[in-house]
Amino acid sequence: MERQAMKSNSTNPFYLVPYYLWIILFVITPIALVTYFSFFDISGNLTLDNYRNFFSSVYLRLTLSSFWYAFLITLISLLVAYPTAYWLTKTKHKNLWLLLIIIPSWINLLLKAYAFIGIFGLYGPANNLLASIGSERLQILFTDFSFIFVSVYIFIPFMVLPIFNSLDRINPALIDASRDLGASSWTTFTRVIFPLAINGVKAGIQVVFIPALSLFVITRLIAGNKVITLGTAIEQQFLVTQNWGMGSTIAVFLILFMIIIMMITGEKGGTLNGKVK
């Protein structure tokens, strides 16, 4: 009796109730509903047509272009965030600098997008700068460049944080040891620092790539709908066409893509990295 009481005390299943409730209500139910709706056509008949339709050329190319832009956004975010995070670990007032990088992510996405409409406008500050150095005014807004620039700007804090955390956790003694044993700074970086911080990079990639696949506010405001992603298509199917079946089908594929990305960048990769040494 006594033993049992002690056992239930240490792992009281009661504490798990809120967790399970949350998971069932806000994770499992929505996914189940989305999957369920994806099997119905616009007039409510059970069908696989939505899936057949997804493999038509429009949606396949839409998927490819979403992936391409998400890839570019992730790559550039990584290229900017890694050196930033590395430099952050070396500075004196780490937390202050970190805070400065994080603060922009507290501002609503729409506000930032509207601000960039002004900044990139034909008569906005960016073009005024160009004009002042004698260049012609350029069409910056509604281009691939502006789309990727603004997306990278928005995602950078989410890439910096995990990389900074894993770099900051590296024991400096390991780096000293590497140098003592005669490794150059480049070798130290590629053989010691980079492998030790790889999990931060993977987490950063997940946090950026997955939302980048389904951006839709920025595609309209900053890219003028000349870049369209799976997110645009879902929004349109639900709000305009009222074809919940097709919208759900695209969402199901988006969830599948996300699971695949999580698997690629997840635990398995971590052990692989252990073998590298």
Q: Residues 205 to 224: which contact another protein by CB under 8 A?
A: 220-221, 223-224
Tokens of 132: 């002042």
Number of residues that bind another protein (CB under 8 A): 31
Q: Is 226 in the site for another protein (CB under 8 A)?
A: yes
Q: Do 157 and 164 touch, CB atoms closer than 8 A?
A: no
The per-type count for the chain, helices as H runs and strands as E runs, is 17, 0
CA dist 258 and 10 (Å) reads 36
CA atoms within a 13 Å half-sphere pointing along the CA-CB vector of 238: 13
Among 39, 97, 189, 238, binds another protein (CB under 8 A): 238
- Nearest distance from residue 269's CB to another protein, in Å? 33
Among 198, 201, 208, 246, binds another protein (CB under 8 A): 246
Point out which span in 181-189, 230-238, 252-260, 266-274 binds another protein (CB under 8 A). 230-238
* Cα 213 to Cα 1, 48, 245, distances in angstroms: 55, 24, 20
CA dist 17 and 34 (Å) reads 25
Among 173, 239, 274, 276, binds another protein (CB under 8 A): 239
- Nearest distance from residue 161's CB to another protein, in Å? 20
**Which amino acid is present at 53?**
N
Per-position x/- string for 21-50, each x denoting binding to another protein as judged by CB under 8 A, each - no binding: ---------------------xx-------
Q: Is 130 in the site for another protein (CB under 8 A)?
A: no
Q: Within 10 Å of residue 51's Cβ, how many Cβ atoms?
A: 15
Q: Is 111 in the site for another protein (CB under 8 A)?
A: no
Q: Which residues contact 40 (CB under 8 A, 6 or more apart)?
A: 46, 47, 50, 244, 245
Q: Is 62 in the site for another protein (CB under 8 A)?
A: yes
Tokens of 54: 């997804």
Q: Which among 208, 199, 191, 206 has a CA at the least distance from the CA of 168?
A: 199
Q: Is 123 in the site for another protein (CB under 8 A)?
A: yes
Q: Do 117 and 221 touch, CB atoms closer than 8 A?
A: yes
Q: Is 58 in the site for another protein (CB under 8 A)?
A: yes
Q: Which H or E run contains 198?
A: helix 198-213
Q: Is 70 in the site for another protein (CB under 8 A)?
A: no
Q: Is 243 in the site for another protein (CB under 8 A)?
A: yes
Q: Within 10 Å of residue 174's Cβ, how many Cβ atoms?
A: 13
CB-nearer residue toward another protein: 111 or 240: 240
- Nearest distance from residue 199's CB to another protein, in Å? 28
Point out which span in 5-13, 199-207, 238-246, 259-267 binds another protein (CB under 8 A). 238-246
Binding-site ranges for another protein (CB under 8 A): 42-43, 58, 61-62, 65, 117, 121-123, 139, 141-142, 220-221, 223-226, 228, 232-233, 236-243, 246
